[in-house]
Amino acid sequence: MLCDTSMATTEIEKLKREFLEHTEIARGRSLKTVENYDRYLTRFLTFAKIKSAKQINDNLIREYRLWLNRQPATEKETLKKRTQNYYMIALRAFLKYLGSRGVDSLSPERIELAKVADRHLDLITLQELERLLKAPDTSTLQGLRDKAMLELLFSTGLRVSELAGLSRDLDIDAEEFSVRGKGEKVRVVFISPAAREAVKLYIKKRNDLEDAMFVNIVKDHTKTAPTRLTPRSIERIVKRYAIKAGISKKVTPHVIRHSFATDLLSNGADLRSVQMLLGHANIATTQIYTHITDKGLRETHKKFHSRRK
């Protein structure tokens, strides 16, 4: 059924390249997303060895799914269902693009995703969060910086990449600011009084000219200029304070983002508003938090629902 000629990939590779360019330019997706799509589709085309998009059919997809399911992820495990779904989502997006171009191929609706267990959220308690926020020693510039980072993460629900990209000329007094998130989408986030005060104290103590909001601390900035903290650096800082605060769970900036979302929902915010504040493109992504409010609903039902005597 499959063909292996030098011309086999010419047409399909051209379509793949045009799809990736469309994804980046017309759809405004991040370079990371484009790179992932490229990797997923390249793996599919390496397996399929097809001449044209017309050759993508149900039988080929079935064979590909079987092949993916048997691919090793580690020495002892094969690819997880969720990871396999990433490959199929990329393929489905490619087929949808082909359809929009009028290219004869398999309908994207024919691509079904594997059933996966609900995502488990790594959460910390309110008490643990309070200990984390109080962990930095604010008598030092480094402590002031780290306090400002932690407070901003919880106040805004920013992704770590968004936090790392902030500029120090942010208008903190405005109590809100715009951030460019995934897919170059702009959203408004809001600053709590605690976060605003922490950022002000930190900026006031800065005596360097670096434009970035969060930088590494250098003893003599006249000799060594500070540089912007990377997302990885921020992750390490958060981990260090979690250990200092006596939190045994894994704590990352994304865990603080989870805390931001669940705090809003637990206090009565509606799902659509939380979706906008988090910058989720699809509300289905935000729905992973609904089990938090479900617990509250269950307690309400127990408390107020009339029972037969």
Which residues does the annotation mark as catalytic? 159, 182, 254, 257, 280, 289
Chain CA centroid to CA 13, Å: 29
Element (H, E) at 241: helix 231-244
> Is the separation of the CB atoms in 230 and 237 below 8 Å?
no
Q: How many residues does the chain have?
A: 309
**d(Cα 164, Cα 236) in Å, to the nearest integer?**
13
Residue among 142, 164, 78, 123 at smallest CA distance from 265: 123
The burial class, CB within 10 Å (0-12 / 13-18 / 19+), for 58 is exposed
Residue among 286, 251, 252 at smallest CA distance from 269: 286
> Is the separation of the CB atoms in 160 and 231 below 8 Å?
yes
Q: What is the dihedral of CA 259, 265, 267, 269, to 10 degrees?
A: 130
**d(Cα 181, Cα 213) in Å, to the nearest integer?**
17
Q: What is the DSSP string of 197-229?
A: HHHHHHHHH--S---BSSB---S-TTTS---BP
Q: What is the DSSP string of 68-83?
A: HHTSBSSSS-B--HHH
